[in-house]
A = this chain, B = another copy of it.
């Protein structure tokens, strides 16, 4: 298969299970490459350079922006976060579907620069489940949880900008649905130009050859 990879953007509410779905896809299948973000924030304990993030200073980050080396970036709480272009494009050329886990603003930047990118929005089946998952993590204060729920209200306004909505009810099902949606995207005619052109040429040649059978 010399098919080209698809740039897959995964967004969704905090607590929707994006990370778990992405981890599941990466562990179970070899079709995917996970994009590693570049950031100016300091590494946290346990984070590894080149796996968790590429950790750089502000000067290096702004130089990369200036060189057009990022396909999207944003500034949160005084720190830059962005997606390096070189790795993404190399993996796409190698036929890997490249997965980016980013927020809606970044997703919209990607869509403008890569109109054929596939945008997926992950949601729990209902708001109660979302809140329970956030509370269940036990790692956040009530204040943070309520902030995230408030942000979810805004994020929910953007769902129609996405190509697909994946309901994360059970994780195995959500992983399978995500894989099916990415697989289906490979069957769009505009991603199969070579196949279609090849068929047309063969059919034309063959109908000339057999004209007098």
Taking beta carbons and an 8 Å cutoff, which residues of A are in contact with B? 121, 123, 126-128, 130-131, 142-143, 146, 149-150, 152-153, 156-157, 159-160, 162-167, 177, 180-181, 183-185, 187-190, 192, 195-196, 198-200, 202-207, 210-211, 213
Contacts and interface: CB of A to CB of B under 8 A. Distances in A.
A4 to B, nearest CB: 15
Number of this chain's copies in the assembly equals 2
Given A196-B156, A203-B127, A210-B149, A164 B180 contact: no
B162 A189 contact: yes
Nearest to A123: B199
Given A156-B200, A180-B183, A180-B184, A165 B146 contact: no
Contacts of A150: 207
Closest 10 CB pairs of A and B: A127-B202, A184-B184, A164-B187, A181-B184, A180-B180, A127-B203, A156-B200, A153-B203, A160-B189, A150-B207
Interface residues of A, dominant DSSP: helix
Contacts of A210: 131, 146, 149
A211 B146 contact: yes
Contacts of A187: 164-166, 177, 181
Of A152, A160, A192, A207, most B-chain CB atoms within 10 Å: A207
A163 B149 contact: no
Given A152-B203, A163-B188, A180-B180, 20 more contacts: A126-B199, A128-B202, A130-B203, A146-B207, A146-B210, A146-B213, A149-B203, A149-B206, A150-B207, A153-B204, A156-B199, A157-B200, A159-B189, A159-B199, A160-B189, A160-B190, A165-B192, A165-B196, A167-B195, A177-B187
A185 B164 CA distance: 8
A164 B183 contact: no
Contacts of A192: 165
